[in-house]
A = this chain, B = another copy of it.
Amino acid sequence: MSLRLGLKGRSMALKVKAASAASEPADADRRGRKASKETRRQQLVEATIDSLAKRGYAETTLADVADGAGLSRGIVNFHFESKENLLIATLQFMADEYATHWSAAYDKADPAAASRLWALVAADFDRKICTKRKLAAWCAFWGEAKSRPTYQALCGARDVKYQETFVSLCAELKAEAGYGYEPETMALALCAMMEGLWLRLMMGDGLTREKAHVAAIQHLVSAFPKHMTYEGPKK
């Protein structure tokens, strides 16, 4: 089976490298033959996000990811066992990054509920998170999530804690000022609006991060008039 004598493999070791990788001149390793397993995995995950953003989920191939990372064809199956694993690791990475980001914003904010709510909304439109590149990648996963329990679980896990936090904050504000809504409903509307704004940001049009953020703020102001102004939380 599959007689396969070298005799050929020889030849071209031309190292036409230099190809793409229009980024990182490296932190330390990156380029060299050795690069800690974790570093290489991270590099491949980043290339995957690029590919998802540029070509979409359906058109993302391992060859494209490998090229994007400036590495060879077999590399993904060496570091991640399969394409599926690579995609899961990519989604996992984005979910972790997102969770870390909003938690930090929450912790750093003034502990008043109004301030925290304001901070969470601002975090969603932060340049670190809210990049066309990353929004496109999120959207690619959303598109497949319905038919893939694994994706759904990862996207869902992101939401559960996040939305619970919103519900608590809305409940606090309601207790403070006696607004006439259900906290769950209000939190749902808020979170849904931010996701919808992300979707539209991704779609292109003329929408900018700033305009989207203003729309979200306007919602805060109209929903919590006793706590919010266009310039920030009251008090």
Contact = CB atoms under 8 A, between A and B. Distances in A.
A145 B205 CA distance: 12
Nearest to A214: B185
Nearest to A205: B156
Interface stretch (A7-15, A30-38, A54-62, A71-79): A54-62
A105 interface: no
A85 interface: no
By secondary structure, the A interface counts as helix
Interface string A116-145: 000000000000000000001001111111
A192 B188 contact: no
A23 interface: no
A214 to B, nearest CB: 6
Which residue, A136, A185, A223, has most C-beta atoms of chain B within 10 A? A185
Contacts of A203: 142, 145-146, 152, 155-156
A99 interface: no
A185 B55 contact: no
A68 to B, nearest CB: 14
A6 interface: no
A51 to B, nearest CB: 10
A126 to B, nearest CB: 18
Interface string A35-54: 00000000000000000011
Q: 7 shortest A-B CB distances, which residue pairs?
A: A143-B143, A192-B196, A196-B196, A56-B147, A193-B193, A195-B196, A189-B215
29 contacts: A54-B147, A56-B146, A58-B58, A58-B144, A59-B147, A139-B143, A139-B146, A140-B143, A140-B144, A140-B146, A142-B199, A143-B144, A146-B202, A146-B204, A181-B222, A185-B211, A185-B214, A186-B218, A188-B200, A188-B207, A188-B212, A188-B215, A189-B216, A189-B218, A192-B212, A193-B193, A193-B219, A195-B200, A219-B219
